[in-house]
């Protein structure tokens, strides 16, 4: 078994935020398969119940809690409740996120703040809530779900890009400040992944043709396809496991090569 043991998450408690479905759900399932006990939260009971049922269908006894990750008091209470009911959190995946696709000059400051609150302030809040216990227990793993927009901008996603760019630097700063306590904090930067969040970008046109953005992403991706949530599971298990104990402050882009590629020449 040798090297494969270093990828095991046996005996670990993993909290994945916003993990009733989508990327968080897939990462949580993969971490379960690697041996972790899965805990997740979502923003309302309906989503949590949906998530618990979905995990059960996969034979996973996940614990689900209602918690808005932007609410510091609720997050602190959640972390304490998880410690009492399940065990101290060893692995945190800051996955919960939103996007608003609005031209910047049409976006209100309140809309901008709402995106930054969930995508940047919340990872700060949840990380701050779990780090003291990780230090007490001799270390831990924090994985922040960043984005192509941690590196690149595009029209209509100013708030999201600002938040995800900030999340890349928060990742580096947690690594810098807490690395001496054997806490590794890294990011995963998914490319364009098929989830509800990107569904509007993939809708078929009335004539059955691809959405223009869909065709654009295919041309910008060497793999010539959208990613699936399954593509993110191996990288997440790696960053959650002992196999990555000397990887810190890194954002692992799982993008099919988008960031390396100028894009296919239009035919």
Contact footprint for ligand NAP (CB under 6 A): 17-18, 20-24, 41-43, 47, 68-70, 95-98, 118, 145, 147, 190, 192-193, 195-198
Nearest to 252 by CA among 230, 237, 267: 237
Torsion of CA 231, 44, 101, 54, to 10 degrees: 30
Structure tokens at 123: 């990872």
Nearest to 27 by CA among 68, 65, 62, 70: 62
Q: Which one of the listed residues 160, 178, 192, 253 is annotated catalytic?
A: 160
Q: Which position among 39, 48, 120, 148 is part of the footprint of ligand GCO (CB under 6 A)?
A: 148
Q: Does 118 interact with ligand GCO (rule: CB under 6 A)?
A: no
41: which strand partners? 17, 65
Q: Does 197 interact with ligand GCO (rule: CB under 6 A)?
A: yes
Please say which residue, 91 or 188, places its beta carbon nearer to ligand GCO.
188
Look up 160 and say whether it is catalytic: yes
- What backbone torsions phi and psi does residue 193 show, to the nearest 5 degrees? -110, 140
Q: Which position among 25, 40, 192, 238 is part of the footprint of ligand GCO (CB under 6 A)?
A: 192
Locate tokens 């078929």: which residue?
204
- Which residues, 63 to 102, sit near ligand GCO by CB under 6 A? 99, 101
Q: Does 154 interact with ligand GCO (rule: CB under 6 A)?
A: yes
Nearest to 94 by CA among 125, 116, 64, 66: 125
What are the residues binding ligand GCO (CB under 6 A)?
99, 101, 147-149, 154, 157, 160, 190-192, 197-198, 201
Catalytically active residues, by annotation: 160
């Amino acid at each position: 078994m040798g090297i494969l043991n270093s990828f095991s998450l046996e005996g670990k408690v993993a909290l994945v935020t916003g993990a009733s479905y989508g990327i968080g759900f897939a990462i949580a399932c993969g971490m379960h398969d690697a041996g972790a006990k899965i805990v997740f939260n979502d923003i309302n009971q309906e989503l949590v119940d949906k998530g618990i049922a979905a995990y059960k269908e996969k034979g996973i006894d996940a614990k689900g809690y209602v918690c808005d990750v932007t609410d510091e008091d609720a997050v602190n209470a959640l972390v304490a409740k998880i410690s009492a009911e399940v065990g101290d959190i060893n692995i945190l995946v800051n996955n919960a996120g939103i996007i608003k696709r609005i031209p910047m000059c049409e976006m209100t400051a309140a809309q901008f703040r709402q995106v930054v609150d969930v995508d940047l302030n919340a990872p700060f809040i949840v990380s701050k809530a779990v780090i003291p216990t990780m230090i007490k227990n001799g270390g831990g793993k924090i994985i922040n779900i960043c984005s192509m927009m941690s590196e690149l901008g595009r029209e209509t996603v100013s708030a999201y890009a600002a938040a995800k760019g900030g999340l890349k630097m928060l990742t580096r700063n947690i690594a810098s400040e807490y690395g001496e306590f054997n806490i590794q904090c890294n990011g995963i930067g998914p490319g364009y992944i098929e989830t509800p969040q990107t569904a509007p970008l993939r809708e078929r046109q009335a004539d059955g043709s691809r959405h223009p953005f869909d065709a654009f992403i295919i041309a910008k991706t060497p793999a010539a396809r959208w990613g699936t949530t399954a593509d993110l599971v191996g990288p997440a298990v790696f960053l959650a496991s002992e196999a990555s104990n000397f990887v810190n402050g890194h954002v692992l882009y799982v993008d099919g090569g988008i960031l390396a590629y100028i894009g296919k020449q239009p035919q």
